[in-house]
Amino acid sequence: MPLPYELVIGWRYTRAGRAARRNGFISFISAVSMLGIALGVAALIIVLSVMNGFQKEVRDRMLGVLSHVEVLSADGAALPDWAAAAAAVQRHPRVRAVAPFIAEQGLLARGQDMKGVLVRGIDPALEQGVTALGADLAGDALARLQPGAFGVVLGAALARQLGVVAGDAVTLIVPGGQVTPAGVAPRLRQLTVVGLFDSGHYEYDATLALVHLQDAERLFRVEGPTGLRVRLDDLHAARAAAVELEAALAAAGQGGVVVRDWTRANRTWFAAVQLEKRMMFIILTLIVAVAAFNLVSTLVMTVTDKRADIAILRTLGASPGSVMAIFVVQGAVVGVVGTLAGLALGLAVALHIDTLVPALERLLGVAFLPQDIYLISRMPSDPQAGDIVPITLIALLLALAATLYPSWRASRVRPAEALRHE
C-alpha cells in the first residue's frame, strides 16, 4: 500500500532542505532546532535522574541509621511499660522487629576538642533487627557494648573530628548538672571507644554515638527506654502503619505516646527535594520549548522558499489540509529525531554517570559532591519511567504545536499570487 503523498513530500522536503545549497541557512536553523530539542530532553532526563538517585541514596542511608517507625513517649520521659507497648506493636502484621532505645543530647570531649552528639542507648541484641547499621555491626562493635562497661561506638566522621580510635577514652558531658558546695557542676562520664561505624550518611556519622541501653539509663537518669524503634516489611507503608500502630497502642491501654514514621521525621528535607525537582522540571522544559519553537522560524522560511511548489501542488488538486499536512510532517520529523536523540543521550549519560563523574573529577581535580555538604560523596542516578515518558511526550507535543502556525500559513498560499513572479 503506497504511503500518503503528504508524508512522502514532507519527508522529501526535510531531506532536500539539507542537500539544497540555496537552503543552507534554513537547514542550519533546522539543525539548531533539532540539537536544541535533543539537548533539552537530555538535560531533563539527566537532572531528574540525578535528583531521583540523590533522594534514593540519602533515603537508604538515612534508613540505615533510622528506623521505619518510632514510638516515643509524649513527655520525653521513659515509657510506662515498654515491654507491653512492644508486644502490642509486634502484633501488627507489617512489623518485623522492635527494639527499645533512649535518645538524648550530650557533649563529647577529647582534650581540647568538644562536639555536640546524639547519644542513643540501644539493646545490642535487638538493634540488629531494626536497622541495617545494627545488622552490619552485630558481630563486631555492638557485641562489645556490655552493660556497666560504659563503652561507646562512634561514627567514623565524629571519631576523626575528635582524633580517637578504638580503645581511646572520651568524656561525655550530659545535660542536668549536680549540686555541689561550690555550685552546680556538670555531670561527666568517661567512656571507652569500643568501635566505629560508617553509615555513608555524613550527618549521622558526625553526630551519633551508641551506648548500651542500661548505661544510657544511668547516664541520663531515666527509668527505662524512652521509645521503640520499629522495622516494617515495606518502608513505603510506614505512614499508614504508623497511624494503625497508634490506634493499636491506644486500644491496648498504651496511650500517651507519639508514633512517628521516617517520612515525617525528615519531612522538610523530602519536601524540599520534591520542590526542587518540580522547579527543575519546569525550568528545563522551557529550554525544550524554546528549541521547539525555533521550528516556527525554520518552517516560516521554508514555506516562503517553497511558495512556488505549494502553488503547483494546489493547481494539481492538493487541498489546503494536504499542504498543511506536508509541513506538519516536515516539522514533526525534526521534533521526533531531536526528541529521540535527546532520549538516547540522556539515558546514556544517566545510566553511566557513576563512571563519567569520577572521570571528570580526576581530570579537573575537583570534587563535585563534598561529603560534608551534600551528605553523600558520589553522584547517584535513578532514571524512572515516570519522568522519562512525560518528558518525551511534552517534547513531541511542543514540537508538533510549533508546526501548526507555519503549516497553516502554507495552506493559505494562493497559487496565482505565488506564481506571479516565477
* Surface-to-core class of residue 278, CB atoms within 10 Å of its CB (0-12 exposed, 13-18 middle, 19+ buried): exposed
Cβ–Cβ under 8 Å, residues 94 and 245: no
10 Å CB burial of residue 127 (0-12, 13-18, 19+) is: buried
Assign 347 a pLDDT band (cuts: 50, 70, 90).
very high
What integer pLDDT is reported at residue 20 of this predicted model?
A: 46
> Taking 80 as the threshold, does the pLDDT of residue 374 lie above it?
no
Q: Say if pTM beats, i.e. exceeds, 0.75.
A: no
Q: Assign 341 a pLDDT band (cuts: 50, 70, 90).
A: very high
User: What is the grid cell recorded at 399?
Assistant: 514540537
Q: What pLDDT, on a 0 to 100 scale, did the predictor assign at position 291?
A: 77
Tell me the three cell numbers of residue 148. Answer: 556497666
Tell me, what's the pLDDT at 179? 57
Q: Give the whole-angstrom CA distance, residue 383 versus residue 421.
A: 55
Q: Note whether 213 and 100 are within 8 A (CB).
A: yes
Q: Give me the pLDDT at residue 184, please.
A: 58
Integer Cα distance of 177 and 108 in angstroms: 15
Q: Are 62 and 264 in contact (CB under 8 A)?
A: no
CB 84 within 8 A of CB 107: no
- Lowest mean pLDDT of 156-170, 216-230, 358-372, name the range: 358-372
Mean pLDDT taken over the chain:
79
Cα separation, 211 vs 118, whole angstroms: 11
Helix/strand/coil (H/E/C) assignment for every residue in 288-343: HHHHHHHHHHHHHHHHHHCHHHHHHHHHCCCCHHHHHHHHHHHHHHHHHHHHHHHH
Asked if 281 and 48 touch (Cβ cutoff 8 Å), the reply is: yes
User: Residue 259 above 70 pLDDT?
Assistant: yes
The continuous run of DSSP H or E covering 408 comes out as helix 385-411
Range of weakest confidence among 80-89, 146-155, 199-208, 308-317: 308-317
Mean pLDDT of 236-255: 83
CB 169 within 8 A of CB 125: no
At residue 71, the pLDDT reads: 86
Query: Are 242 and 131 contacting, i.e. CB atoms less than 8 angstroms apart?
Result: no
In the predicted structure, residue 206 carries a pLDDT above the cut 50? yes
Pairing assessment for the beta strands 151-155 and 169-180 based on DSSP bridges: unpaired
Whether 228 has a pLDDT exceeding 50, the answer reads: yes
Residue 295's nearest CA partner among 144, 206, 401 is 401
pLDDT per residue as tens digits for the range 91-147: 888 888 888 998 888 888 888 888 888 889 888 888 878 877 755 665 577 778 888
Closest CA to 336 of 11, 21, 44, 8: 11
For the segment 232-259, the average pLDDT, to the nearest whole number, is 83
Taking the C-alpha atoms of residue 243 and residue 236, their distance in angstroms, rounded to an integer, is: 13
Report yes or no: 115 and 162 within 8 Å, Cβ to Cβ: yes
CB 131 within 8 A of CB 66: yes
Q: Residue 229: which residues within 8 A CB-CB, separation 6 or more?
A: 67, 69, 70, 98, 99, 100, 101, 127, 130, 131
**Spatial separation of the C-alpha atoms in residues 288 and 393, rounded to whole Å:** 12
Give the mean model confidence (pLDDT) for residues 303-309. 71
Nearest alpha carbon to residue 227 among 77, 127, 68, 106: 77
Give the pLDDT band of residue 27 (cuts 50, 70, 90): low
Higher-scoring residue by pLDDT: 22, 406: 406
Kindly state the average pLDDT of the residues 52-75. 80
Average pLDDT over residues 401-411: 79
The yes-or-no verdict on residue 344 having pLDDT over 90 is yes
**Res 343: pLDDT:** 92
Mean pLDDT on 289-307: 75
